[in-house]
Amino acid sequence: MDILNGLLYGFSIATQPGHLALVFAGCLLGTLVGVLPGLGPVAAISILLPLTFHLPPAGAIIMLAGIYYGVMYGGSTTSILVNVPGETASVVTCLDGYQMARQGRAGAALGIAAFGSFIAGTVGIVGLQLIAGPLSSVALKFGPPEYFAIILMGFTFVTYLAPGSSLKAGIMAVLGLILSGVGLDPITSEQRMTFGVLNLFEGIGVAPLAMGLFGVAEVLNRLEQASFGRVLQVKIRSLFPDRKDWLSARWAILRGTLIGFFLGILPGGGPVLSTFISYGVEKRIAKEPERFGRGAIEGVAAPEAANNAAASTSFIPLFTLGIPPNVVLAVLFGAFLVHGIQPGPLLIRDHPDIFWGVVGSMYIGNVMLLVLNLPLIPLWVQVLRIPDRILYPLILLLCVVGAYSINNSVFDIGVMVVFGVVGFLLKRGSYEAAPLILAFVLGPMLEVNLRRSLLISGGDFSIFFTRPIALGAMIVCLFLLALSFLRAKKGN
């Protein structure tokens, strides 16, 4: 089936009334999940998976995919209006989005996020449809040394590009790395930093950690503020960014799209990493980097574009190789299998209805999200405009229930509370929690790929400098490190 016929076939599947309703349901749920802090796509898809058991496979996958990319739209709303990331892929959107909202430009921020998401998401689907096969064979060429070098590059980017002191960001990344080492050794099962506590054998959960550092810490932070006011009161005049906004954001959207596009395909990349990197790139190449963190529209447009492009293209390795490139798609992968479909090289041939149906539904879903969400933003705003005395206990309640429900574990609530206090103290010392979380998530991947690389090379570190892709990533790392030393010297 050629691409045009495939696409028409896909639309014919996606526009069946039942499937249209499922696209709509997926997008709406995804947006709500994105808006609500503390509840991310992984938890949401896991909770909703049992509901799809009675649907035909194409419908089930169409709806669950809708949740995934819907989240990418919804997350920005909370970031911009409350300065709490609705979910992890919107962490960096807080930095400039919230500042824009404080300057009375919430409408422009929300609008550019939505339009940027739409453009990037659509470009991502075109890519998914056209180059699924050829591009994933490139990703397959990445072995342990390449993974290690690229993750290390991610670490370096995150510390170099973090707002404020690079040293502090580096400390946070190292702390995240150390925390990710808690639990059983991933290869030999030796205990590490568990102090014999059974609950720590499987390591610290990323959800309680993130909810603590972002949710609880934020609530504590607000309590400290003298005025017990409401969540940012904004008047949203127009959701359509004006000409000037477009002029300053258009290239940012394009760059964000490209970065998200490629990081989405890369196993271990995905939406979250792409937002950090695209934000960093924008800040790097800006004429006045000091605007970032103070309401630069590029700082909203680029990461929001990046996470949507990445959400679309992350389906490429799943559909063509059967490899879920990130944790959300790993859950979605489970959904395929529950429905008796083996994602892999034969998926497009054996199940064209799934592949083309999902592609078609993603085009429709992106239009739905744009058309529905812009008018619905006032509704989400109302959800978020609940007074502090109700909203903050509510966020706490959500975090507690969320942390508990993942493993039915009271211990996880304890982890969340501890890191809530830690996060609060870190914030007072102007240490950012974002590099910590990223390092925490990437830490285990960094470790196993380092160890596998050294097994391959027989303990020889030159393996990271003799393979072109790894070498390239290493050079970028060293370059960034050198730059940040120079910058620190200049600062003194």
Partner 1 sequence: MSGRIRFLLTVAVVAAIAMGFPVTGPARAAWPERPVTLLVGFAPGGTMDLSARALARATEKVLGKPVVVENKTGGTGTVALAALLAQKADGYTLCATPSSVLIRVSQMQRVPFKPLASFRPILGFTTPQLGIVVKQDAPWKSLAELVAYAKKHPGGVKYATTGVGSTTHAAVEELAAREKVRMIHIPYKGSIEALTALLGGHVDFASVTSEFIPSVKGGQARLLVTMGEKRSPKFPRVPTMKEAGYDFTNDAVYAVVAPAGLPPEIAKKIEEAFARAVRDREFLEALDRIDLVPVYYNSKAFNEFLQAQWKIINRHLTSAGLIRQAATPPE
Q: Footprint of partner 1 on this chain (CB under 8 A)?
A: 32, 36, 39, 44, 46-47, 49-50, 53, 140-144, 183-191, 194, 198-199, 201-203, 321-324, 330-331, 333-334, 337-338, 340, 342-346, 382-383, 385-387, 390, 394, 397-398, 401-402, 404-405, 407-409, 411, 444, 448, 452, 455-456, 458
Nearer to partner 1 (CB atom), residue 242 or residue 350: 350
Closest CA to 153 of 426, 430, 445: 445
> Apex CA 343: angle with CA 340 and CA 349, to 5°?
95
Instruction: Tell me the closest approach of the beta carbon of residue 294 to partner 1, in angstroms.
Output: 30
Least distance from partner 1 to the Cβ atom of residue 434, Å: 25
Nearer to partner 1, 429 or 468 (CB): 468
Quote the least distance from Cβ 215 to partner 1, whole Å: 13
Selection from 94, 100, 70 nearest residue 82 by Cα: 94
Shorter beta-carbon distance to partner 1: residue 130 or 330: 330
Rg (CA), the chain: 22
Q: Closer CB to partner 1, residue 367 or residue 471?
A: 471
Alpha carbon 46 to chain centroid distance?
17
Q: Report the amino acid identity of residue 78.
A: T
Residue whose CB is less far from partner 1, 12 or 405:
405
* Dist. CA 161–CA 155, nearest whole Å: 10
CA–CA separation, 57 vs 341, rounded Å?
8
Q: In the complex, what is the shortest distance from the CB of residue 27 to partner 1, in angstroms, rounded to a whole number? A: 17
Q: How far is the CB of 227 from partner 1 (least distance, A)?
A: 19
SS3 content of the chain, % helix, strand, coil (to 5): 75, 0, 20
- CB-wise, 251 or 404, nearer to partner 1? 404
Q: How far is the CB of 187 from partner 1 (least distance, A)?
A: 6
How many angstroms separate the Cα of 332 from the Cα of each of 180, 210, 250, 327? 24, 22, 32, 9
For 6, phi then psi, to 5°, come to -60, -45
The interaxial angle of helices 41-48 and 327-338, nearest 10 deg, is: 10
Tell me the closest approach of the beta carbon of residue 330 to partner 1, in angstroms: 5
Residue 4 or 390: the one with the smaller Cβ distance to partner 1 is 390
Residue with tokens 């339009």: 115
